[in-house]
Structure 1
Amino acid sequence: MAMDRDRIVDEALALLNEVGIDKLSTRKLAERLGVQQPALYWHFANKSALLDAVNSAMLTRYHTRRLPVAGEDWVNFTFANARSMRATLLAVRDGARLTAGTRPSVAEFADTERVLKLYVDAGFSPSEAFGVAIAVTRYVVGYVLEEQGERERDLLEDQANVLTDLTAEVAPFPVLAEALKSLVQVGTINTEAVFERGLRYMVDGMQASLRAKG
């Protein structure tokens, strides 16, 4: 039976959400599709190529702010882009690990060019613009890696008890205790607030760097 490439990717994304990236295999995907495993290799040379396609599909489906809108300045875009990417990675099981392990396709270079041009038009050099884009992307991916790792642990542990134990453990360290207290809301750590704070620090630094150029 001839297989449609888009259907393979859609089913792979669904399987990823069910079993996670460690248990996602071409064998399981072939069984899900009702075909022999070699049939997948007509479309994808190996699992890495399949994951590249799944990552691209995830970003296309969920990442709504990959590109700046008309008239948008670089600061607003940076915030919108980072928030959208975080939401995208959180929407898919192991989304951050998926993105971290894949490589962009040539088809995505035009979008990258548009983003870099926004930063260059604001005063960054091409290399600085690339550095800004990479820094923001890696901040988001790294942050969500931690979030999704914590989410997996939370399935096995009582979050309230973990926080109670942690609060007791940091009590002898007043600065650390106060910092933790400010981040805990309704029995859990406000990870969104932590993310926003880190993102703001990054953008503030970028703005300062741009101002220093004169």
Structure 2
Amino acid sequence: MTGRLPRGSLDRDLILAAAERLAAEAGLGEVTIRRVAAALGVQHPAVHYHFARRDDLVDALLARAVERFNEALPVVESDDWEDHLRHYWEGFRAVLRADPALFELVVGQWARMGRSQQALDSSYLRIDAQLGVLLRAGFSPEQAGYAYHLLSTYTRGCLVSEYQFAGSLGATAPGEPLEASAKTLPGDLGQYPNLSKVVAHSWSYTFATDADYTNGLAIIVQGLRAWLEPTPL
């Protein structure tokens, strides 16, 4: 944002929007009262009026990010648990691939999220619904927990890999240039016979292209299906 705001127009939403842009550009560590005020063209006491401490600002920012993320997720109406998992986690990935600010706050600050009760409550509401899908499908509570952990860790890990690779190419987020650049490995692979065979069919530098993610998700779902199949007598 450039220029100064009209007197009296500053509110929490404007401050949080500026803080989110700053987090996307420079990381949450650079989000301070003074830097947000500078981005808005106001003096820092004007931001302090709404957020007494930086921690208050960060907590509100994380809570806003989780709520915005939840709202952006596609609604999955399938009664088939396998179809639901595929669509939900593909949507989870798609939303965060398209929005660097949400990626930084929802994935990059995963551990910090626990310090914001409002962010936790919003996250728990979404997680609770997804666990319900698994429990209704017949998974035990223990299995449902492991399944959610696996799917979440896999999806977030793929996103981290993509964003890191995109950053090395000077991109702000994963996209077509990343997909094109990630399909080959550098160097002469002649001395690695097994790697050479695999690279010719199913390998990428990031391990996280669309094909990588989709096939990995299919393997996970297939493995989960085996938990529900009766054990042969």
Describe how 1:186-205 pairs up with structure 2 within 5 A: 191-205=209-223
Q: TM-score, normalised by structure 1?
A: 0.78
**Which of the numbers 6, 11, 22 marks the counterpart of 1:4?**
11
Counterpart residue number, 1:181: 200
Change (3 A) 1:85 1:119: same
Describe how 1:48-127 pairs up with structure 2 within 5 A: 48-65=58-75, 68-69=76-77, 71-93=78-100, 95-100=102-107, 101=109, 102-103=113-114, 104-127=119-142
Give the C-alpha shift of residue 95 in structure 1: 4.3
Alpha-carbon distance between aligned partners in 1 of 2:123 and 2:53, rounded to the nearest angstrom:
19
How many residues of Structure 1 are paired with residues of Structure 2 in the alignment?
A: 208
Runs of at least 5 residues in structure 1 that lack an aligned partner in the other structure: none
**Which of the numbers 12, 34, 38 marks the counterpart of 2:48?**
38
Alpha-carbon distance between aligned partners in 1 of 2:55 and 2:29, rounded to the nearest angstrom:
19
Aligned-pair RMSD on alpha carbons? 3.5
More helix by share: 1
Give the C-alpha shift of residue 52 in structure 1: 1.8
Counterpart residue number, 2:159: 144
AA aligned opposite 1:85: F
In the alignment, structure 1 residue 23 sits paired with structure 2 residue 8: no
Change (3 A) 1:146 1:58: farther
Give the C-alpha shift of residue 89 in structure 1: 1.5
AA aligned opposite 2:79: E
Q: Secondary structure at the match of 2:165?
A: helix
Alpha-carbon distance between aligned partners in 2 of 1:58 and 1:107, rounded to the nearest angstrom:
10
Alpha-carbon distance between aligned partners in 2 of 1:38 and 1:204, rounded to the nearest angstrom:
52
Runs of at least 5 residues in structure 2 that lack an aligned partner in the other structure: 1-7, 172-176
Give the C-alpha shift of residue 73 in structure 1: 1.5
Alpha-carbon distance between aligned partners in 2 of 1:43 and 1:81, rounded to the nearest angstrom:
36
Q: Among the aligned pairs, what percent are the same residue?
A: 21
Q: TM-score, normalised by structure 2?
A: 0.72
Change (3 A) 1:162 1:84: closer
Give the C-alpha shift of residue 149 in structure 1: 0.2
- Per-residue displacement from partner, 1:139-174 (whole Å, max 9, x unpaired)? 111110010000000129x9889977x443323112
Alpha-carbon distance between aligned partners in 2 of 1:48 and 1:5, rounded to the nearest angstrom:
12
Change (3 A) 1:31 1:170: same
Change (3 A) 1:181 1:12: farther
Describe how 1:143-182 pairs up with structure 2 within 5 A: 143-155=158-170, 166-182=185-201
Asked whether the 8 Å contact 2:24–2:104 carries over to 1, the reply is: no
Alpha-carbon distance between aligned partners in 2 of 1:12 and 1:61, rounded to the nearest angstrom:
19
